[in-house]
Copies of this chain bind each other. A is one copy, B any other.
C-alpha cells in the first residue's frame, strides 16, 4: 500500500521527514601508511579526553538550500579548515537504525534540533597530502586529527562502516589509475609513490616494473633535486604536472 496513492497527507509529520547529512572520509598518506581524518565530537564543556567513542568522521547536516557537493565542501572546511580539496561522492547510507545506538544518543540530543529524526547520510571521500594539511580545530569540532587506518577506534554512528566502504572504493579507483596525485606532497620520491600504490592496492609491486611504468607517464616529471638528510642514498625527487 502506498500512502501517496490516496492523495492524503501522511500522518505523523516528524516520522516522514528526514535529515540529510554528509560524511567525509578524508585519507592521508604519511609515506608509510594510510590515515583517516577524524574529529572529536565533544559536548560543550566536556573533557575532551573523557570518551573516545565520540570520534567521528567529519560530517554534518546538509542545509536546506545547499547542493550536496557544496555541503560536503562547506562541512569539511568548517570542521577541519581544509580548503580546496576534491571530494567525491561514493555512496548513501540509510539504515533506519544507523543513528539510534545508545552511545550516540546523548550527543544527538544535545546537538541536533530533531535528535530522533532519521538521518540519511551521503558519503564522500577525499585524498590529501598530509604534510600540506595540518588541520586546525574549529570551535565546533573540538579537535581534528589524523588516525592511522590500522588502529581506528570505534567511531560514532556507523562511521566504521562508512570508512570501510570508502576504502573499498578508493581501491577500485586506484586500480583504474585515478586519484593518487592528491595523496602525495608536491615533491616525492619513486619509493614513496610505490609504497602508496602498494598500500592502496594492498599488494606488493616489483620495483623495476613499477619504475618502467612510471617513466611512461608524462605527468610524472623528474626534478633537479635530491632528497637530503636521509641515512641512505638520496633519491631523486619527482613532481606531478597536471596540465599535460
A residues neighboring B (CB under 8 Å): 2-5, 7-10, 12, 15-20, 44, 60-62, 64-68, 71, 78, 89, 91-96, 110-114, 117-118, 120, 122, 139-140
Contact = CB atoms under 8 A, between A and B. Distances in A.
A94 B60 contact: no
A66 B98 CA distance: 12
A9 B115 CA distance: 10
Given A4-B60, A4-B111, A20 B65 contact: no
A179 to B, nearest CB: 15
A2 B140 contact: yes
A7 B110 contact: yes
Contacts of A114: 9, 16
Q: How many copies does the complex hold?
A: 2
List the 3 closest pairs (A to B, CB-CB), nearest first.
A17-B17, A68-B94, A9-B113
A36 to B, nearest CB: 22
Contacts of A4: 60-61, 111-113, 140
A122 B92 contact: yes
Given A89-B91, A94-B122, A18 B16 contact: no
Given A2-B78, A65-B96, A18 B15 contact: no
Contacts of A17: 17-19, 117
A12 B64 CA distance: 10
Given A16-B113, A120-B20, A67 B89 contact: no
Contacts of A44: 7
A20 B21 CA distance: 12
Given A16-B113, A20-B18, A68-B92, A60 B118 contact: no
A176 to B, nearest CB: 8
Given A5-B140, A60-B4, A10 B113 contact: yes
A73 to B, nearest CB: 13
Contact of A92 (B65, B89, B111): B89
B20 A94 contact: yes
A94 B67 contact: yes
Nearest to A111: B4
A95 B67 contact: yes
B122 A66 contact: no
A175 to B, nearest CB: 9
B7 A111 contact: yes
A7 B71 CA distance: 20
